[in-house]
Structures are given as C-alpha cells and as structure tokens.
Amino acid sequence: MNKAIIIISCSILFAQITVVPQGRNLIQNALLMERKGDLERARTLYEDMLRENPRNRQAYQRLKEILKRTGELESAAQLVEVWINLNHNDLQAYIELGEIVFLKDDKKRAAKIWHDFETTYGTHTSIYRMLVHTFSRLGLTEEMEGLVKRGRSKLGQKDILALDLANYYYSRQTYDRALDEYLIYIIEHPHQEKLVTDRVLLMSDDPENHLLIEKKLVSALENNHVIIDKLLAGYYFKTSRYNEALSTHRSMGLHNNADFKRWLLIAGNLRKESQYDLSIEAYQELLDLELELPPKIIGEALLGLGKTYEDQLLPKTLNNSLVSFYPDNLFFKNEFLQISPRSRESLERTFKLYQRVLQELPASSFSPKAHFRLGEIQFKITRDFDGARTSYLSALASRPDKNLRQNILLRIGETFIAEGNLKAARNHFKLQHRTEKNTSISPFTMKEIHLTFLTGTIDTAKTVLDSVIVNALPNDKYFNDLMELQDIIAQHYTFGSETDKEALVQYSIAERLLQQYKLVEAAEMLAFIRENYPDVSILPIVMLRECLLRLLLEDVSISLNIAQLLQETPFAPQGITIQGEINEQFYGDIDKAMKFYNNLLESYPMSMLAEPVRMHMRQLKNVVES
Amino acid sequence: MPSIANHLKRIRREAVQNDLITLAWAAYAFILLILFITIGFEAVFYLSSAIRLITLKIIAGLIVAGTVSLFIVNALIEQNKIKRYSWSKLARAAGKLAFPKSDVVINAYQLEQSENSYTSNSLSKSYIQRISNKLKRINLKKLFPAKRADNWKVFSLSILFLGSLMVIIFWDSSSNALTRWGHPKHEFEVPKPFSITGITRNIHLLGGDSTPLSFEISGLLPDSIFLELIPSTKDTALLLAVKPDTNGRYTHLMEEVYQDYRYRAFSPANHFWQAWKKVVSPDYYISVTDRPIMEEFSITVIPPDYSGLPVNIQKGNQADVKGLKGSTVRIDLKSNRPLNKGFLKLDNEKIPLTIRGKRAAGGFIFNRDALLKIELEDNRGITNQNPIPFHLQILPDLNPEMSVIQPAQIVDLGTDQLIPIHLKIEDDFGFSTLQVGYEIKRPSYIEDESLISIFPISIENSTDLSQEVKTIWNLVELGLMPEDEVHYHFEVYDNDEVSGPKKSISSTFIARVPSLGDLFTAMEEKEDQVIDELIMHSKEIEGIQEQLENMKLEMLKSDRLDWDQQQQMEETLAQVQQEADALKKLAESMEAINQSAEKHSLFSDDLMRKFKELQELVNEILNPELMTDLNAFQDALEKMDMKDIMDAMEKLSSNLDQVEQQLDRFLDIFRRIKAEQKLDETIQRMNQLVEQQRIVNENIQTLDEQTDPATIARLSHEEQRNSEEFSNIRDVMEEAAEAMQEFDLESAAALENLEKDHLTNQTESSLSQTARQLQKQRIQQAQQKSAESLENLENLQFMLADIQSQFQDQTTKEMAGKFQTVMRDLLELSKLQESLEQSTRTMPKNSQRLAAMAGQQQFAQDQLMKIMSSLMDLSKETFAVTPQMGKGIGMANAQMEEAKKKLTKRNGRGAANSQQSAMKSLNEAVLAVYQAMNKMQASGSASGYEQFLQRMQEISGRQQGINDQSMQLAFGQLFAAAQRSLMQRLLKQQRQVQKSLQQLMSETRQSGEQGLGDLGGIAEDIDEVIKDFQNKRYQQRTKERQQRILSRMLDSQKSLTQRGFKEERKAEPANAIVYEGPSGLPVDYGQRRSLAMEALNQSLKAGYSRDYQTMIRRYFNALIQSEEQIIPTDTTFNE
C-alpha cells in the first residue's frame, strides 16, 4: 500500500500540469481525453480525482482500465490493493486483483488470491459465478471445473453454474461436456426447455455430433425425466428420424390433455414436414383413444388428418418449373388443382373424414372448418362451384371465427368468378368491402381490383389501384401483387398507344378465362392477341403466359415455338429456360437442355433465372452421373 | 645645601633653555624657507598685489602668534602644567642619569615635601642630602644635550646658503621680486612677449561686400592668433583662428558682410606658468551700408480652369515654383528701401515690375520651365545683390490611364452579341471623351473592305478622376455574320484645354462571331480531352488501388512498417492527392464546357441539363470522405499504428473503388450524352441554316435588274456560306449517326440514310447553284434555286427533328424497359422473400429445414446482389436511379443478412420478422423504381431530372407562401398577439421548408443527380431566418434573406448555372492591369483612399464571415490612416 501511495503521490507531484478546460467537470474531461486517445492526460486527471477523493469509483475504474490497457500491471495491482484497503466490501476488486496478478504471470500469487477469496467469501453462488467468469475469460478450464465442483459440494446444489459452464464448453465446441452441463441444468430448470433444445439442435447441425448427442440423451433417459424425452424426440425430429421421434413421444405416454396437445403438435409437424403417413398414423393413434378424448382434441385431430390428406393431393404441374408467370400473384394465380390419379384415394378419404367430422361431432367450431375444407376441395379440385358455394355457405352459417369467415366470403366470391358470373362476384365483394374497416389492404379490395381488371375496365382498375397503393404500406402482403398489376397497367395502358390499350383489354379476357379454368380458350385468346397485335407492348407478357399455358396443356411444340420467339423480347431468359425445360422434361434430351441452360448463363448472367438454372444444372449433372 | 626642589628648578631651567634654542633655530629655518619661496614665486608668476598683500599679512600674523605662544607656554611650565617640564618627569630623568634607580630623585623630592609626617627626619634629611649632593654634581649638559638645536642650526644655514645662491644667480628677477614684495600694494605690469596691431583698422562697406581683416605682430610671432568678430546686433560673437601669411601678417577675408561688427585679435598664453594670459589688439570696427532687399515676397500660381486646381500662393522661401502649363504667375514683393525700379528676369527676358514705394508687383503666363530672378534698384541707385533664382517648373498634365478589366483580349460573341465592358480610367484632371474604335473584318473569302468606326461611351462624371466605367456594347446593330471579327480598342481623352486633350489607347481586342461549326468543334475537342483525361485517371486510380492491395498484403506479413513500405505509402498518398487535384481540375473543365455551351445556346435545354448533371457528377466523384480517409491514412502513418494503417488503407481503397466506379459511370453517361449532343448539333445547325437561308432567300426574291451588283455579290457570298455550312452539316450527320449507333440503331440508320438521301444531295446542289447564278447575275434562276433550297432545307429540318424525336422515344423506351426488368426482378424477389417468410413462420421449431432456410435466404440475397448490380449499371445510363432505390435494396440486404443469422441460430420467429422487413424494403425499392420510371416516361426524358425540378418547385412554392405571409409582419398590420401567432406559424413552416430542402439536397447529392447550383448557400440563410423568427423579430434583413432563399430556389429550377441573387465569393476575372503613370494623384483627390475603399468593398463582398469582415475593415482603416500620415512627407507637390 505504501508503495502505491508513493506512486500515486509521485505521479501527482511530477505529472504535467494539466490545463483543465473551464465549464466541464474533471471526469468528463478525463473521459473525453480517453476517447481522444490521450491516455496520459486522462490518467493524470483520474489520479487527481483519486487524490481528492480516494473512493471515487469511476476514477478508480477508469484508471485501472488505462493501466491495464497500457500494460502497467504492477501499478494496476497496486491501485487495486489500495482500493481494496479502502473498500473491503468490493468483492469484484479481489477477483480483479487476482486477474491482474495472473496477467503479470505471477500465477501462484493469483491462485492464492482467488483461493483466499473463495475461502473467505465463498458462501454464495454469485461469488462462484464471478470467479467462474474470470476463469473462463482467462481460459482456466481446470480451475473452473474444480471451482464449480467445490461450489456444488459446499453449497449443496447440483446445478450450480451448470448453464455457465455449459455455455463455456459450447462456445469452445466441447460438446460432450456442454451436453452434460445442459442436461444437469435442464433437469433442474425444465421451463428452460427452449433454450436447451435450441442448443442441442444447433449442435446437431453437424452430423458428427449426432452419435454423441444421442448417446448423452439416451443415457440421461435412465433417470426418467420427461424433459429429456422431449429433447430426444426433438433431436430425432430435427435429424429427420421421424419414426423415432414419434416413438419417443409415444414412450412419453398419452394420458392427459397436455399429452394430447403434444401429440397433435407432433402430428401436425409431421404433416408440415411432408411425413404424411406418420402424420396420419399419429392422428389415427390419437383418434383411437376416442372415448378418453375431449371433443376439441378430436376435432383438431380430425381436421389435421383431413389437412394431411389434402396435402397429399399432388397438383399436376410441370415438375419444378423454373419459369413461372408472376409467381404467387393474386391477380394471376389460378387456385385450381389438377391432381394426379394416385391422389384420388386421398381425396376420397379426405371427403369421408370431413363428413365424419360433420356427422360425429356436435356442432362446434369444427363444423365451419370442416365445411370450409369441403368447399375448398369442391372448388379447387372437383370444380363443383355450386357444391363448393353450398359448403362455404354452410360454413358461414356455423359461426366461424373472423379469419375463417373472411376466407369463406372470399371463396364465395371466387366461385362466382370461376363461373364467369362477374356481376354477381362484384356485388358480393362490394357488399363485403363496405363492412371492412381494416387499415391494411383488404382482400376484398384486392378482389374488387381483380374483378375490374378481369372485366377489362382498366381505367377503373388503375384508379382503384392508385388509390390503394397510395395508402398501402410496403410491408403489406398484397403490396407486391398490386405493384405488379400497376406496372402492367402503367406500361401497357397509361404509357401505351391505343393499340397497346386494346391489347391489354384483350389480355384481360384471357385472364378471365383462366380464372374460369378455361385453359384452352385462354390459350387461344392469347394466341389471338399474339397474332393480331404483333407490335403491342404487352406482347412479351402474352407470349410468356401462353407459352407456360401451352406447356400445361401439353402443346409442347407451340410452347417451344413461343419460347423461341420470347428470345427477342425482354423475357429472353425465360424463353431460353423454357426451351431447356421442354427438352429436358418432354423430350428427355438433357444435353440439349444443358445447352439452353448454358446459353442462359452466358447470355444473361444477371438474370434472376441464372442462379436457379445453375442449381438445376448441378442437380441434372448429379443425376446423370449417378 | 640646596633642596631637591631647587635642583629640580635648575634642571627645569636648563631644559627650557635647551628647547628654546632648538625652537629658535627651527623658526629661523622656516622663515628663510618662506622668504626664498615667495621671492621665487613672485619672480616667476608676477603675483597680483592682493596675493602679495595677503601673504605678507599671514606671515606677520604667524610671527605674532608664535611670540604670544611662548609666553603662554612659559606660564604653564611655571605651573607645572606641561608634562614635559613636570617635576616628576624631570626628577626621573635626573634619577635615571645620576642614580642607579630612576625614581631616587623623585622619592627624595617627595620625602622632602613630606618631612614632618611619619618618617624619621634625620634619615630623610640624610637621604635628601645625599641625593642633593649627587644632584649638585650632575652635569646638566648631559641631561639635555644640544644636538637637536645643532641640527636645526645646520639646516637653517643650509637654506640660507642655498637661498642666497639662488637670489644671486637670478639677481634680476629676484631683485625685482624683492622690490615687488617690498611694495605689496602696487600692481606691477607683466611683461609680454609680443604685441598685436590691426592693419586694416576701422572699415566701411556696402551690404554684401567682402573685406580682409589684417593684423601684424611685433615681437615673437605666435603660430596663430584669434580673430573675434562681435556683431552690432549683439548676437553671438564669431571667433576665428587666423594663421600668419608669408609676410608674417595675420589676415582673414570676410565675405558678404551685411551688418556692422567690432573686431579684435588676441593670442592667449600657451603655458600656465607664463605670467601674461593673453595679448590683445585694440578693438576695431566694420560699418556696413544696406542694399535693397525683399522683405516680403510671394508667388501666386493660378492653374488653368480645366484643372480645377486651387490657386497656390507660395512664399519666397521656396525657390521651386511648380505649376501646370498655362498657369498665371503673379509676383508681389516689398523691399526694405524705397525702390526706384525693378524687373522680373525670366531667363534672358526682362519683365518690368510695377513699383509703388517699397512695393513692387508683376506677372506672366507660365508656359515653359525657366529661371526667374527679381532685380531691384533703390532710389540711391543701389541694386539688390545676387537676386535669388526661382526655378519655374512646368507640372505635366499626364496622359489618362486605362485598364481594361473586361472583356478579355479575344472573345467569342454569344448569340446576344453583347460585349460587357468594364474599364477603369484614371487621369489627374478629368476626362473629355471615352470611345471604342473598331474595325469590322469580314472573312477573307468575302473580300469585303473593312469598316472602321467608333462607339462612344458616356462618362457620367468627367471630373471623377478615377472611375470604373461599365457598359454593354451591343454589336447586333453591326450586322455581324459568323466568322466576322471586330477588332477594337478603347480610347480615353483627358480634358487638357491648354495643350489639347491627350489620349490613351488600349491594345487591340478582338471579338469574333464564331460559326456554329467552330463552336461545336471546339466543344467537342474539350469533351474529348475530358474523356481522355478521365480514362487516364481511371487507370491511374486502378493502379493506385493495386498498389494499396499489394501494400496490404505486404503489411499482413509483418507487424511493422519498414522504411521502404513507409515511403511507398507516402508516395501512394501523394498520388491519390494528385488524382484528387486532377479531378478537381476536370470539374473546372466541365464547367468551362458548360459555360461555353450555355453562352452560345448550343444545345437544347434538356441536353444542357444533362451537361449540368454531368458536371455535378464530376464534383461528386470526389466525395469528402476520400479526403477524410486521406487524412486518416496520413495520421495513421505518422503514428505508425499498423491496425489504423490497415483500416485507413481499407477505407481509402474502398473509396477509390467508388471513385473509379463513378468515373466509369461518368464516362458511360458522357458517351450517351455525346451521341445526343451530336444529334442536337445537327439539328441546331440545320435550324440556323434554315433561318439564314430564309433571310437570304427573302433578299434574293426582292432582287431585280436595278439592284446594286454589290448587293447581289454579297448575297452570293452569303449563299456560298450557307452551301458550305450545309456541306459541314452533312459531315456532322454522319458523325452523329455513328455516335448514335451504340444506343439506337434504328435512329442512327435513319440519320445515315438521310445524309445519303437524294433530297440532301439535291439541297446541296441547289444551294451552290444559287450562289453561282447570283455570281453570274442571273437573278431569276437564282431566285428559283434559292426558293428550292429553302424548301429542301425545311424538309430536311423536319426529317431531322423526326429522327431526334424517334431517338429520344427509343432511348426513353429502352431505359424504361431496363427499369422494368429491375422492377420485375425486385418484385419477384419480394415475393420470394414473402414466401420464405411464410415458410419460416409456419415451420416447426425443430424442423431440419430451418437451417436449410438460411441457404434459401442466401439465395435470395444473391439474387438481390444481382439486382443491385443491374441497378448500378442502369445508373450509368440515367440519372433516374434514385437514392430511395439504393436505400431499399441496402435495407433489404441488411435484413436478409439478419434473417440468415437468426436462422442459423434457429430463431425462426426472429428470422421471419427480418424476412418480412426485407420484403418491405424490397417493396419500397420497387415503389421507388416504379415512380422513377413513370416520371421518366411521363416527362419523355430519360435523364430523370424532372423529379428534382418538381420537388424543388413544390418547396419554392411553400417558401413563396412564407414570404408572402411575412409581408404582413413587415407592414405592421397586425396586433401583437396576432403577430406572435403568425410568427410561430411561420417558424414552423420555415422549419418544414428547411427539412424538405435538406432532404432534397441530401438525396440529390447521393444520387449524383446534382444540379443544386446555388442551393448550397440557402441553408445558411434559412438558419438565419429561423433564428429571427425564434427571436420574434422580423427585420429588413429577414425579408432580404427570405427573398434570397426564394431567388435561389427559383434559380436552381430555372438555370443551374445562373448565380442568382447570391453574390458571395463571386469570382472576378483576373486581368492584368498595366499601369504606366505616376504612383497616384495628389492626396487632395483622395485617390489612394478610394483605391483602398474599393479594395475594401470588394473584400467585404467576397463572402467572408463576419469576423473576417471585421478584420478586413480594421486592416483597411489602418492602411488608409497610414497613407494619410505618410503622404505629406513624401509629396511636396502642392505646398
């Protein structure tokens, strides 16, 4: 201490005279100096402050940091010693003293300081935590382990510092020890399930860790902790071992409501991961417990099952088509599905299931959902618009919740559109639109715009579009759809010639036909535009639309011709890609397809299609090689 | 038996006697010494009677005092008061001599004196007797030896002998000295070695005459004597040393004696022992008779009227008389004597004076330099002697001076054909005429005679000696044609009425009416130069970047810089600095090109705007960050901090990359604009040609047989000129077609075809035929061909306009297509992002696909990068790429990055939120692209400039509103409360305007869509206006500021080159002002002061801050004051 006093006194006596600017207090000035990198002056100011008030914590902290930073560890240690003498209760200072001494390479003394500290003050977890953090910072793993061991023994808590230690190991990728500690922790703190699960799942990102994780988790199962089962199930699910995941859940039992909910969740997740068989198995297993189940769970299970069947209905489209026409745009989207023959069975099952829901379960919140799902199948797949409308109306009558009600109403309108009864559709949407008071873009407004476009009243569509976009927020889910339509209208109508305008109106007719699933008529309409309006600005869009439509209709040669023509338009990348796809998928000529793909990469490297095509080429190459 | 006492008395007597004898001999020696000394002194120095008397008195006094002293001493001895003669002393001396013990006698004496007391009488007596006996026998001569007396005796006799010897030797002197001592009261005259006698004695002279003063010496001749002249006016006497001449006379010549003197000569003793002090001559007198002189004299110079100078009255104490030629000189004088006659003698010419008593007056006209003397004669016939010559000197009336500040030596006339003239003229007395003499020179092939004429410039105040003349010379009336030259000079005449006005002529200036072809060619050359330089700089920067990269790699290898590396870095820094400087110069070149194009209205407004933007783009290439980075690099290098150096290098490299990209962008846009420029040039020249042909055709159609052949010849020349121009236009068409090929093949082909078209050939042929027919004076044929030419030209003009329109439409369409591609891509990406977001949101939290989602997100991000790259490319072609697009894409990129991070941490919900934000940002970018595209299409201009104008218009509208409302405050029409309320409202509105403007400026700066022109200065004014409103005051100044803000806003919309209301830091053309005259006019006219004041005004207008202005004012005040102090001392002109 005497030395420190001497040092401080000397530094005060012999330090340069610091000219302190007026109007600022010392600490501000010192901090300013520090920020400016003038550590010498900052140090002098801190020393001044400490001389005036040796208990000035801020000055002490800053001076200590400066001394550490400038490598004057001896002075720093002396400063801390002086501070400890003045502030016996500053426990952090003891640890810091040890740290500084350790950094000075006097490891023995540092160990003694920490040991003395632990002996004197080691009566509380926080003391151990402070030490653990210091040890972890200094990379003293063994000391840390010893400390935690002593702490657990002394304080009689198994999980003390488990999470700290686990995180330490995790950050150093020492996963086995990390897992041990996480498991210790999760058993004592089951509510922290998400945290530990996330960590375990992150560890499992590396397949090399799989064996280790499984081993550790399975070993931990011996103690019959449900939480470990959950972890294991989650791990299996994440590593695509869905069967084992389901088995693990099964082993956890199906006894109470919580179990039922857990079961529904896993079944639903299996469906989302396209594990339809397992999903169905899970739902069935639950439904088999019929008598024990509350009706709500039954309803959920049945709907889930139905959804799983629905999801199995595979649309009959070009496999993984690289080119799409305004993808996911509400205005150009066709809701109809053409399912593959093998999906017929699923369709029947789905029907039966929803019928069962409606028959077996009392009128409840599930009725509207079941009606709605039925309507969806009738609308999208069987294209029984009347039947669908009846189902939707039944759903509407069964007091659905707000969201469902909205969807039902939208679908009712769409049935009118699909029937070609645009007037009825407009009346329907108008009626609904008036009641809508939401700030975000209403789906009814979208439908109204869609209708005006389909009816060829482009001016009206534009006016409504403009007014909606002006008030729309860019994060609205409809925003990009609107922008696409607006762009089409602007380019081919607002800034277009009279012929351009006329062609756009014709094009809207084609879109109307598509909404009615009159694909052939729509294709003919598009061909008509293509042939009769060769100079209009919308021609590239018309051609692309027709090209894709012809593919769907399997008019491959026409599609190929159009694709070739597209090469002279802004949709050249799309034209080239479609040619490649036709050669690949319809003619099975991979080499020729690859030529087209290569052409795309060479000629249009900046196209948005370049990356997907490149990936597709890689896949193709792999397939060919294998 | 005698008693002891008696013995002692005897002894005392003997002692006294002995001492008296000694004293007597000493006194004798002293007296002798005094005697001989006094004799010697008197013999040498001839003491004055007083000294002698006093000396004698002192000696007598001393003798008396000595005698009296003897008696006193004797009395004291008797009383045993003097120790030397006390009993005890004497007894002891006797005891010492006669007895073994010295105190025996004193003891005996004491016993004797105490005989009846306590001792035995007998014993005492016996003892006393024994002593007495012994004392009786004592030899007193032994006790008091006479040795001292003998010494004194010998000494005194020696003095006596020596003294007597000296007296005998110098008997003459000694005897005289004794005589003088014997007559102390009588003064004896000291004998002198010589005497001085004046030869010239008393003298009489006329004033101004000279006279010698001579003395002769009888006796020893001193080496010099002093001549003392004492003026009668009792002024200080003159003392002159005069040496003897060969005749042994001492003569001094006294010149020009004007007053009476008393004079004498004297010679002082040379040594102190010389008894005489000086030998003086008797006093003599010089008496002087006066000549007539001028007691009062004045010369009055009356300058000629035109000079405006005041009458100058000069006293006779100045012999230089200066005046302007033609000045009247008048002399007035007064003599000390009544005058008889007088003359003014100008060199050899005599001009009689008018005499009136003692006064005389006369005058003459001052026409030449001369010597003026004034001759006077008094009534005694005595003339004035040596009249003072006055130098009459003609002051020159200097030639006027002229500095031509504007125009430059050679100027190209713009379409307005105006030459702004800014002259500075100076003269010492004023001006009479200022004019421009000019000669119109036609091109050589016209073979026309030059026309010489003058153009007078009015001078508002011809007496203002230094003034600036600003006027504009409109040359339109001269009917100049392209390639005509006007050679002109400026002439300024002064107002000299005496010698006739003198003039100064400037050098010859040339104003040229350039042909459009010349202008375009010159401009193209400059542009090509700019392009070449840009390419060079781009390569240089690339090289620097490579260097930086290499250095970075080198640095990674070591933890410290070696000397070579440091040097290399410093060199690189210097290179970057050089590049920065070069780019600045490039911006200046662009400015020059713009100015030239604007002056001659070479291009359409749209093209001009694009040029402006290009210029701003060059300015923007050098972003301030580059300079900051350079400094940071320098600092880091000084501190030798490796980390900082690396960081600084990284930043610098990145900024240089941006500079390079900007340069590339500039080049790309420049190429596009050049193509447009070529087409524009074709049209412009064609338009002008059609116009010219129309005029020529009109003239040709009016021709008939009686028409002057000269007129026909002139028209033939003009037609020939048109033919040549058409031929040139064809060349330009070809060049334009070539340049346009890169951007629109169709338009290029159309232009090329047009150039080769039959119509074009036919037009060229008809034009030349018209000229030929005119030459041959075949008027009818010429009229027919001319009309045909005009019709053809008009057709071609129309077709060219069509091609231009087609080109513009095509380029706009092409640009719109590119924008659409970007927009489509952005929308596609936005939807992909939306889909990713939905997938992420609905995905099970422990789904394996969550990590795979990050891959998809990466894919989306890669796609975004492509779009960004496309947008960058697009920005090279148009200014319509706005910062909002970049902002949206940048934000989307950041959010995608964030989403990826969250996905890798399995934070599904967080990732979905980030994905949603990314989608939102993408949509914002889409919106920006859509708006830009629409505006571009709506305006029909691919430049994207209209957006800026529109917003500026809106802001200026708001500012106008504020200004209008503020007028209510100015007129004080409102109550206090209403004023406060209005002030608050205006404050709010003004802040909104400020915010909008800042935003606009920031956006335009970022986008490279510069064109703010004068807007930079608005910010300051707005700040001030806001401050005024905050302080609840509305003053004239506030109003002016508001007007200035509005003015600049409007200017920025109207024309970006116009400087608008602002005059801050206005550049003055640097013209060499040749100064041939004197350093300045007389101080009376304050010319220097005005120069200083002008300089001050210019400095204050130069836009410095208030502090600087104060400093400048102080400096100039000091300057003016110092001049006022200095000028009178070095300028005696008007005194």
pLDDT at A92 over 60: yes
Per-residue pLDDT band at A280 (split at 50, 70, 90): confident
Residue range of the domain that includes A368:
313-418
Q: Residues A363-403: pLDDT tens digits?
A: 666 778 878 888 888 888 788 888 889 888 888 888 888 88
Question: Do B500 and B576 sit in the same domain of this protein?
Answer: no
- Tell me, yes or no, whether A414 and A428 share the same domain: no
Q: What is the pLDDT of residue B1080?
A: 38
DSSP helix/strand/coil, B601: coil
DSSP B350: E
B266-281: pLDDT as tens digits: 998 888 778 788 889 9
**Is the per-residue pLDDT at A529 higher than 90?**
yes
Q: In this predicted model, which residue has the larger pLDDT, B183 or A360?
A: B183
Res A16: pLDDT: 41
% of chain A residues with pLDDT over 70: 91
Q: What is the DSSP letter of A584?
A: I
Kindly state whether residues A466 and A382 are assigned to the same domain.
Answer: no
> At residue B1109, does pLDDT exceed 70?
no
Percent of chain B residues topping a pLDDT of 70: 83
Residue A230 within any structural domain of the chain:
no
User: Is there a contact between B834 and A328 if contact means CB atoms under 8 Å apart?
Assistant: yes
> In which band, very low, low, confident or very high, does the pLDDT at A290 lie, cut at 50, 70 and 90?
low
State how many domains chain B has. 8
**Whether residues A411 and A434 fall in one domain:** no
Separation of alpha carbons B28 and B434, rounded Å: 119
Q: Which of B286, B266, B281, B282 is nearest to B211 (CA)?
A: B286
Which residue, A167, A40, A541, is CA-closest to A325? Answer: A541
Among the candidates B259, B289, B319, a domain finishes at B289
Residue A21 domain-assigned (yes or no): no
Split at pLDDT 50, 70, 90, the class of A583 is: very high
> For chain B, how far is it from start to end, CA to CA, in angstroms?
123
A483–B849: do the CB atoms touch at under 8 Å? no
The DSSP string of A484-532 is HHHHHHIIIIISS-HHHHHHHHHHHHHHHHHHTT-HHHHHHHHHHHHHH
Q: How does pLDDT run across B152-193, given as a tens digit for each residue? A: 999 999 999 999 998 899 888 888 888 888 888 888 888 888
B649 and B684 part of one domain: yes
Helix axes of B1036-1054 and B1018-1030: crossing angle, nearest 10 degrees: 150
Q: Which residue has the higher pLDDT, B220 or A25?
A: B220
| Amino acid B257: pLDDT | 85
pLDDT for residue B248: 85
Cβ A241 vs Cβ A213: under 8 Å: no
C-alpha A610/C-alpha B1075 separation (Å) is 74
> What gap in Å lies between CA B351 and CA A180, rounded to an integer?
138
Closest CB to B846 among A237, A473, A474: A237
Q: CB under 8 Å to A81, separation ≥6 — which residues?
A: A1, A4, A97
Last residue of a domain, one of A495, A522, A537: A495
Residue A379 falls inside a structural domain: yes
Q: Does some domain include residue A490? A: yes
Provide the pLDDT confidence category of residue A577 given band limits of 50, 70 and 90.
very high
Q: Domain check: are A387 and A465 in the same one?
A: no
> What is the overall mean pLDDT for chain B?
79
Closest listed residue to residue B285, CA positions, set B208, B205, B207: B205
Task: Note whether residue B1073 is domain-resident.
Answer: no
pLDDT digits (tens, 9 = 90+) for B607-639: 666 667 666 666 666 666 677 777 777 777 776
Could you give phi then psi for residue B96, rounded to 5 degrees?
Answer: -65, -35
Model pLDDT for residues B488-542, shown as the tens digit of each residue: 999 999 888 888 888 888 888 988 887 767 767 777 777 777 777 777 777 787 7
In the listed set B240, B256, B289, which residue is the last one of a domain according to the structure? Answer: B289
Report CA torsion sign: B346, B352, B354, B355: positive
* CA-based nearest distance B827→chain A, Å: 6
Instruction: State how far Cα B166 lies from the chain centre.
Output: 89
Count of domains forming chain A? 2
Residue B829 falls within a domain, yes or no?
Answer: no
Q: Which amino acid is at B50?
A: A
Q: Output helix, strand, coil percentages for chain B, rounded to the nearest 5.
A: 60, 15, 25
Q: Which of B821, B851, B926 has the CB atom closest to A480's CB atom?
A: B926
Q: Could you tell me if B660 and B735 lie in one domain? A: yes
Which range in A461-475, B118-132, B651-665 is most confidently predicted, on average pLDDT?
Answer: A461-475
| Chain A nearest CA to B657, separation (Å) | 21
For residue A254, the SS3 value is coil
Q: Could you tell me whether strands B509-512 and B410-412 are parallel, antiparallel, or unpaired per DSSP bridges?
A: parallel
- Going by the DSSP 8-state scheme, the letter that residue B358 receives in this structure is T
**Cα–Cα dist A446/A448, whole Å:** 5
For residue B933, the chain A residues in CB contact (below 8 A) are: 490
Q: Are residues B630 and B664 in the same domain?
A: yes
In this structure, is residue A376 part of a structural domain?
A: yes
Q: Say what the pLDDT of residue B370 is.
A: 87
Q: Indicate the SS3 state at residue B344.
A: strand
Stronger pLDDT, A74 or B942, i.e. the higher one: A74
> What is the pLDDT at residue B620?
66
Residue A17 has pLDDT above 70, yes or no: no
**Host domain of residue B147:** 4-182
Nearest to A348 by CA among A306, A392, A290: A306
Based on the fold, state whether residues A438 and A487 are members of the same structural domain: yes
Q: DSSP letters of A189-236?
A: -GGGHHHHHHHHHHHTTSGGGHHHHHHHHHHHHTT--HHHHHHHHHHH
Confidence band, pLDDT 50/70/90 cuts, at residue B1017: low
Contact A487 B870 (CB under 8 A): no
Residues B386 and B450 in one domain: no
* Nearest in space to B515 (alpha carbons), one of B721, B700, B339, B317: B721
What does the DSSP 8-state code read for residue B383? Answer: B
B431 lies in the same domain as B487:
yes
Tokens of B418: 């105006």
**Taking 60 as the threshold, does the pLDDT of residue B1124 lie above it?**
no
Residues of A with Cβ-Cβ distance to B866 under 8 angstroms: 606-608, 610-611
CATH code of the domain in which A335 resides = 1.25.40
Cβ of A234 within 8 Å of Cβ of B920? The answer is: no
Instruction: Say yes or no to pLDDT of A434 above 60.
Output: no
Q: A235 to chain B: which residues are within 8 Å by CB? A: 846
Closest-CA residue of B relative to A198 is B906
Q: Which of A266, A497, A608, A611 to mutate to test the interface with B (most CBs of B within 10 A)?
A: A608
Q: Does B251 share its domain with B118? A: no
Interface test with chain B among A236, A491, A538, A607, by most B beta carbons within 10 Å:
A491
Judge if B163 and B227 occupy the same domain.
no
Residues of A at the B interface (Cβ-Cβ below 8 Å)?
194, 197-198, 201-202, 205, 234-235, 237-240, 268-269, 272-273, 327-329, 469, 473-475, 477, 479-480, 483-484, 486-487, 490-491, 494-495, 570, 606-608, 610-611
Q: What is the mean pLDDT of chain A?
A: 83
Determine the average pLDDT of the residues in B295-305: 88
Q: Which residue, chain included where needed, has tokens 């400093």?
A: B1111
What is the nearest CA distance from A142 to chain B, expressed in angstroms?
A: 29
Q: How many pairs of residues across A and B have Cβ atoms under 8 Å apart?
A: 107
CA neighbours within 13 Å on the CB side: how many for B597? 30
- Whether residue B1089 has pLDDT greater than 80: no
A364 and A458 both lie in a single domain: no
**CA-closest candidate to residue B662, choices B897, B1005, B350:** B1005
Report the chain B residue with the minimal C-alpha distance to residue A201.
Answer: B846
Measure Cα distances from B224 to B193, B244, B948 in Å: 14, 6, 109
Q: Closest partner residue to B846 among A234, A480, A608, by Cβ?
A: A234
| B1069 preceded by a cis bond (ω within 30 of 0) | no
Is residue B261 within 8 A of residue B230, CB to CB? The reply is: yes
- Tell whether A319 and A404 lie within a shared domain: yes
**What's the Cα-to-Cα distance from A429 to each of A330, A390, A445, A458, rounded to whole Å?**
15, 17, 8, 18
Residues A390 and A445 in one domain: no
Question: Which of the pair, B447 or A150, is modelled with greater confidence?
Answer: A150
Is residue B487 within 8 A of residue B439, CB to CB? The reply is yes
Q: Within this chain, do residues A398 and A441 fall inside the same structural domain, yes or no? A: no
Cβ contacts of residue B1012 below 8 Å, gap of 6+? B616, B1001, B1004, B1005, B1052, B1056
Give the residue from A418, A445, A462 where a domain finishes: A418
Do residue B950 and residue B923 come from a single domain?
A: no
In whole angstroms, give the CA distance from residue A8 to residue A15.
Answer: 10
For the beta carbon of residue A418, count every other beta carbon within 10 angstroms: 23
Nearest to A201 among B825, B835, B846 (CB): B846
Residues A329 and A356 in one domain: yes
Q: Tell which of A452, A471, A495 closes a domain.
A: A495
Q: Which residue has the higher pLDDT, B208 or B230?
A: B230
CB contact under 8 A, A237 and B844: yes
pLDDT classification of B1123: cutoffs 50, 70, 90: very low
Same domain, B527 and B576: yes
Inside any domain, residue A357: yes
Claim to verify: residue B701 and residue B769 sit in the same structural domain: yes
Residues B666 and B631 in one domain: yes
Question: Is the pLDDT confidence value at B101 over 80?
Answer: no
**Residue where a domain stops, chosen among B244, B262, B289:** B289
Q: Which position has the higher pLDDT, B839 or B480?
A: B839
In a domain, A329, yes or no: yes
Contacts for A583-592: CB closer than 8 Å, 24+ residues apart: A584/A620, A585/A318, A585/A319, A586/A554, A586/A556, A590/A620, A590/A624
Length of chain A: 626
Q: Does residue B258 register a pLDDT over 60?
A: yes
**Does position B645 have pLDDT exceeding 90, yes or no?**
no
Question: In angstroms, how far is CA B928 from the centroid of its own chain?
Answer: 56
Question: What tokens appear for B498 in the block?
Answer: 């005496």
pLDDT tier at B992, thresholds 50, 70, 90: confident
Residue with the bigger pLDDT between B466 and B1073: it is B466
Better-scored residue on pLDDT, B1110 or A106? A106
- The answer as to whether A402 is a domain residue is yes
What is the token pair recorded at B9? Answer: 């008395």
Q: In angstroms, what separates the C-alpha of A43 from chain B's closest C-alpha?
A: 20
